[in-house]
Amino acid sequence: MLIQEKMSVMEKLEILSDAAKYDVACTSSGVDRKGNGKSMGNAVASGICHSFSADGRCISLLKILFTNECIFDCKYCINRSSNDVKRASFTPDEVCELTMEFYRRNYIEGLFLSSGILQSPNFTMDLIYQTILKLRTEYHFNGYIHVKAIPGADSELIQRLGFIVDRMSVNLELPTAEGLKTLAPHKNRKNILKPMRQIQSQITQSKNELMIYKNAPSFVPAGQSTQMIIGATPENDYQIVSVAENLYDKFNLKRVFYSAFIHVNEDSALPALPGGPPLLREHRLYQADWLLRFYGFKANELLSADRPNFNIMLDPKCDWALRHLENFPVEINRADYYTLLRVPGIGTKSALRIVKARRQAVLDFDDVKRMGVVLKRALYFITCNGKMMYKTKIEEDYITRNLLNLKERIPIDVKEAGYKQISLFDDIRFNPHPEIVDHMQSIYGQI
């Protein structure tokens, strides 16, 4: 393992951003912080995308590893100790200067700092802490910072770090403890859940203190997130969605990210995946995640032990609605918000607009369309003034066939981008000519 003494910052940046790219969490959302008139920076709750890379993903933060050296040997990871890759490490000043200069030019919203494990978890966590401390106090950076908490590091270090960053995340890595055991022999589930729990309870504590003392320092104000790799281990969708639900309910996570497994190492423990990374599956999981967080769905409504995987052909909401035709059609002028949300073709925004607009007038199909509802999807499930849009059979096979004929707008935002991710259920474009883009075609040529 060779570290060149005189590596240029350019070389380091290339190596250490390349090594960080598999981390999917790039959002800068979750906290509103005004500038203080002195230091550089503020934060915007909705998050801001600054660019998009050639894979179409949002670039919001300077996403880098502090070092790609690592004493661990996780089988799925390009930086594992047994790999012969070029290694590099930043100095704290290099990280600070890059962040400041990129930020001034409005390239980025802030910094995302992760790291391979150098010497020990504590040693690494301390390096990260020193770097962030420097950035905040010597460079006076007031923008967004997301750091990885290193499992196994002292809780006291995590605590200190939590007060100077916006978001922290501990990667779950794989959906189940068994998966972790097979692919990440140096890690264990307990070590991952422990800092997660610590961060959760300190966030709660800090919020309580903030209610009493206005100026109390706030701990991880943008909340914590995590991510897991999909398709490297044999868990089914039901297991994965249930894990996510638990993380939201029991650990109060802000976000769970899913990352389609990408084959970077040859290892007999890893699946072959000849079709490339399971992107459509990842996409279905994001859709389901959205349903859990904003649409009031429960994991066991979407899937069950008998039906443990999502329908690849239909989005999870359509799929659910088709299996519950007895609940439909619903009346646009009367159904409550959550009932509207369950209608395919109606998203959170259009549902809200409907609820507001119908206080002023009785709505018909034209109105509903203007409010962003995708009628060709919704028409099987709604009435306006007691009437369906036109006569149609309410029958599972028939509707399924019709829905499948519609090109699904596999969103442009299947990944992380906080504020951008609204497109899942077709309501973003208020403009009544939604662009239908069929990504399924490009991702899965044969479908």
Chain positions contacting other proteins, by CB under 8 A: 9-10, 13-15, 17-18, 20-22, 34-35, 37-38, 40-42, 44, 46, 48-60, 62-63, 98, 101-102, 104-107, 109, 143, 260, 262-263, 276-277, 279, 353, 356-357, 359-361, 363, 367, 370-371, 412-413, 419-420, 430-431, 437, 439, 442
Q: Which is nearer to other proteins, 189 or 409 (CB)?
A: 409
117 binds ligand SF4 (CB under 6 A): yes
Least Å distance between CB 356 and other proteins? 4
Least Å distance between CB 153 and ligand SF4? 12
d(CA 310, CA 269): 25
Q: Which is nearer to ligand SF4, 184 or 291 (CB)?
A: 184
- The entry of ligand SF4, other proteins, none near residue 53 (CB within 5 to 8 angstroms by kind) is other proteins
DSSP letters, 122-159, are: HHHHHHHHHHHHHHHHTS-B-SEEEEEPPTTS-HHHHH
* Structure tokens belonging to residue 195: 């800092």
192 binds ligand SF4 (CB under 6 A): no
d(CA 54, CA 180): 31
Pairing of strands 110-114, 167-169: unpaired
294 binds ligand SF4 (CB under 6 A): no
**Residue 359, class by beta-carbon neighbours within 10 Å (0-12 exposed, 13-18 middle, 19+ buried)?**
exposed
d(CA 88, CA 442): 36
- The entry of other proteins, ligand SF4, none near residue 48 (CB within 5 to 8 angstroms by kind) is other proteins
Least Å distance between CB 89 and ligand SF4? 13
- The entry of other proteins, ligand SF4, none near residue 113 (CB within 5 to 8 angstroms by kind) is none
Q: Which is nearer to other proteins, 121 or 143 (CB)?
A: 143
Alpha-carbon distances, residue 275 vs 50, 283, 373, 410 (angstroms): 31, 15, 34, 18
**Residue 429, class by beta-carbon neighbours within 10 Å (0-12 exposed, 13-18 middle, 19+ buried)?**
middle
CA 216 to chain centre: 29
Size of the site for ligand SF4 (CB under 6 A): 9
Q: Which is nearer to ligand SF4, 117 or 256 (CB)?
A: 117
d(CA 308, CA 323): 15
Neighbours of 198 (CB within 10 A): 17
Q: What's the distance, Cα to Cα, between the start and end of the chain in Å?
A: 45
125 binds ligand SF4 (CB under 6 A): no
Least Å distance between CB 212 and other proteins? 28
Among 30, 41, 92, 116, binds ligand SF4 (CB under 6 A): 116
- The entry of ligand SF4, other proteins, none near residue 331 (CB within 5 to 8 angstroms by kind) is none
Longest dimension (CA), the chain: 75
User: Which of 259, 111, 255 lies closest to 169 in space, CA to CA?
Assistant: 255
Handedness of CA 102, 19, 192, 419 (dihedral sign): positive
Q: Which is nearer to other proteins, 105 or 214 (CB)?
A: 105
- The entry of ligand SF4, other proteins, none near residue 9 (CB within 5 to 8 angstroms by kind) is other proteins
- Interface with ligand SF4 in residues 392-411 (CB under 6 A): none
Least Å distance between CB 260 and ligand SF4? 16
- The entry of other proteins, ligand SF4, none near residue 1 (CB within 5 to 8 angstroms by kind) is none
Q: Which string of x and - marks every residue 45-84 that binds ligand SF4 (by CB under 6 A)?
A: -------------------------x-xxx--x-xx----
Strands in 255-260's sheet, in edge-to-edge order, are: 61-65, 110-114, 144-148, 167-169, 224-230, 255-260
- The entry of ligand SF4, other proteins, none near residue 77 (CB within 5 to 8 angstroms by kind) is ligand SF4
Which residues face 87 on adjacent strands?
Answer: 3
SS3 content of the chain, % helix, strand, coil (to 5): 40, 10, 50
- The entry of other proteins, ligand SF4, none near residue 44 (CB within 5 to 8 angstroms by kind) is other proteins
Least Å distance between CB 92 and other proteins? 17
Whose tokens are 């940046």? That residue is 13
d(CA 438, CA 207): 44
- Chain residues binding ligand SF4 by CB under 6 A are 70, 72-74, 77, 79-80, 116-117
